[in-house]
Structure 1
Amino acid sequence: MATHNLAVILKTPLNDAEFLLLKQTPPPKFGEEQYDSYVDSDIWDLPSTRLNLQNDHSHSAIVIHGAQSSQDIDLTDFDVQLALNEVLEKLGLRMSDAGEWSLFKYVEEAEFGPGVPVKTVFVMGKLLDGNQTCQGPSKWMSTESCLNLLLEVKPSNDRVGPLVVIALINDSLQSAAQKLPPTLHYQEYPPGVIILPMRSRTAKPFDTTNLVIFAPEKVSDTCGDCSFVVHGDALIVDPGCRREYHEELKQIVASLPKKLIVFVTHHHADHVHGYGLEEGDWQC
């Protein structure tokens, strides 16, 4: 079984380029003074909630256009109406304030384990009267403005959450991740930083080790005459997959630029087993 979430891209007829983001609740206190005294900047992300299964399989009054033709998920199995109500309530809205719902995207996130994987249903809707005023801690932003916050990081600036990146920003960029084998699930956040769990001989209850790939399209150079990492065009960190997954690792390496730097954080087997590739496969 997997955990399913519903994320909402809410727009208005007045400005189709902008969507509504919700300020995220800070994490609970940790009980450590040094940790709890740190105040981070606000994170803004698409409003979302848990998407639960239907209890009685009753017909929902909410129509999600495009859902019936989806081969990835059957939304009739889930209580979409309850989830939409919960999301709109966070924004200070009611179900009657929005409509024209359509299935935008279904994303199966990488299985980082050991818990169940998370799968997210993104739906798009519009405020029916074009009113852009909401009562909740929310604001309107565009894909371009969100991308600028990610790329031009400054102290105390607002931050953009991963749902915006997964749903909207990554699709607008020519990312190196688009060349990865389509059977692999990964997370790219922020753009150009790819985290991909690979099967490895790691400590239980885990069975994967994260392969980290840095392959940005643009690198902000604020330190003078320097390139990405030791004059490479991409960096791959901890290629520690088991031998039976070396073919997938070869495909990943082949999708990256030729000037590839390989970095290992430490020499445990689950971080170095990928070095079993032949020298020519690395193309370094």
Structure 2
Amino acid sequence: MATYNLALILGNPLNDAEFLLAKQTPPPKFGIEEYDSFVDSGLWDLPSKKLDLVEGELEPGSFVIEGLERTSLRNFDFDSAINKVLEQVGFKANDGGEWRFLKHLEEAEFGPGLPVHTVYISGKLLNRNQNLPGLCKWMSIQSCLSWLVDVKPSSDRVGPLVVLGLINDSVHSSEKVNTALDYQEYPPGVIIVPMRSRTAKPFHTTNLVVFAPERVKNKCKDYNFVAHGDALIVDPGCRANFHKELLKVVAPLSKKLVVFVTHHHRDHVDGLSIIQKCNPNATLLAHKNSMRRIGKGSNYFGIVMISFCYGVFKKQRLLKNLFS
């Protein structure tokens, strides 16, 4: 069965523009030194908990959630999940009110797992004198946008629940992606399409990442990190029976297209031939060793080879130059 999660948007009683974010627990260790030695920066997101499905008839709960009665989610235990979230951020059940169902999002089917469903509920915290725990803070959409724009090493980051639940609603894409596949837009103009690929088990998809600034119709300067330049796609490595879907995604993109291949494995390069046919003037960006392994079939592209000596920031500068 797919996983269902509750994400709470808890409003600040003193400032209608702010909502509560909680610092997320780092993921468990892999037991592999190469990964475990990496220390990531703090990730802040909406407080959330798993929603449990209740068998049989559900007793009326203590939380009245406006709009939930019109959905198919009525048999989930929202009372328990809301109580756990409030406890997580240092509040009690009677500290909140004005509960309202906002939306239900189903993410695409990434990797080996089933899609994850997220139910967004908003509420207003009523306790004006409550001191926040150290791992919580009030944030606004504007302050979250600042974090997204001014990304620096070791700086705090905004999690996907905030972007998908709040920020994406403030900026709308001009059109849907032309594919029958499920995808995720995070944030507007950056599309992630899990595509079936010849990847290693237990995984069965590789993420095709598409930067499509022309799809974002909001001209707000806050989105300059997305809404400028031409188009970039990363790792077009789908199976042959998904090439038609890849073509649908690539065909509407700007003819000044950059194709970035992170490495040479077949689940990252199997769709290059489709892009060559669709846009032979595209520029292929890859490490020089990857280019040798990809083979001469890529000769139709304009090629830019990079070396590890560039480093992260020089690679970012190279991408910026390609977009300008």
TM-score range, shorter chain: 0.7 to 0.9
* 1:180 partner SS: coil
The residue aligned with 1:275 is 272
The alignment yields a C-alpha RMSD, in angstroms, of 2.9
Map 1:92-103 onto structure 2 (within 5 A): 92-103=90-101
Q: CA separation of 1:206/1:36 partners in 2, compared to 1, >3 Å: closer, same or farther?
A: closer
1:50 aligns with 2:50: yes
Checking the alignment, whether the CA contact within 8 Å between 2:21 and 2:47 is kept in structure 1 is yes
Q: Secondary structure at the match of 1:22?
A: strand
Specify which of 207, 210, 218 is matched with residue 210 of structure 1.
207
User: In structure 1, what is the Cα distance between the partners aligned to 2:172 and 2:97?
Assistant: 32
Aligned position for 1:127: 125
Matching residue of 2:171: 173
Q: Match for residue 234 of structure 2?
A: 237
Q: For 1:55 and 1:146, locate their aligned partners in 2 and report how far apart those are by CA, in whole Å.
A: 39
When the two structures are superposed, what TM-score results if normalisation uses the length of structure 2?
A: 0.73
- Give the counterpart letter for 1:54 in structure 2: V
Matches of 2:31 and 2:184, distance apart in 1: 30
Tell me whether 188-197 or 40-49 shows the greater mean CA deviation. 188-197
Q: Report the CA distance shift for 1:253/1:36 in structure 2 as closer, same or farther (over 3 A).
A: closer
The verdict on how the C-alpha distance between 1:130 and 1:252 changes in structure 2, with shifts beyond 3 A counting, is farther
| 2:68 match: secondary structure | coil
Give 2:195's match in structure 1, choosing from 178, 195, 198.
198
> 1:91 pairs with 64, 89, 92, which one?
89
Deviations 1:163-216 (A, max 9, x none): 11111122223457x531374333344554432111223333322221122345
Residues 42 and 206 from structure 1, CA distance in 2 versus in 1: closer, same or farther, beyond 3 angstroms?
Answer: closer
After TM superposition, the structure 1 stretch with the greater mean CA deviation from structure 2, 86-95 or 54-63, is 54-63
Report the CA distance shift for 1:275/1:120 in structure 2 as closer, same or farther (over 3 A).
same
Partner of 1:254: 251
SS in 1 for 2:242: helix
CA drift of 1:30 comes to 5.0
Instruction: Map Cα deviations across residues 5-27 of structure 1 (whole Å, 9 max, x no partner).
Output: 11100103432211000111233
**C-alpha distance in 1 between matches for 2:39 and 2:202:** 33
CA gap of 1:26–1:280, structure 2 versus 1, over 3 A, is closer
Equivalent residue number for residue 10 of structure 1: 10
**Maintained 8 Å contact 1:240/1:273:** yes
Q: 1:80 aligns with which of 78, 81, 86?
A: 78
The aligned residue for residue 224 of structure 1 is: none
SS for the counterpart of 1:16 is: strand
TM-score computed with the length of structure 1 as normaliser: 0.82
Question: Does the CA contact (< 8 Å) of 2:58 and 2:75 recur in 1?
Answer: no
- The offset of 1:155, in angstroms, is 3.1
Which runs of 5 or more residues in structure 2 are unaligned?
214-222, 283-324
Percent identity for Structure 1 against Structure 2: 60
CA distance in structure 2 between the partners assigned to 1:194 and 1:80 by the alignment: 31
Relative to total residues, which structure has the larger helix share, 1 or 2? 2
Higher relative contact order (CA 8 A, sep 6+): 1
Q: Which residue of 2 aligns with 1:147?
A: 145
1:38-92 Cα offsets, whole Å, 9 max, x none, are: 544322110001111114432232222122333xxx2212111100010000011
Number of aligned pairs? 270
Contact map agreement 1:93 1:135 (CA 8 A) in 2: no
Matching residue of 1:69: 70
Q: Which sections of structure 1, spanning at least 5 residues, go unmatched? A: 221-227
Contact 2:12 2:138 (8 Å CA) reproduced = no
Residues 31 and 82 (structure 1 numbering): CA distance in 2 closer, same or farther, change over 3 Å?
same
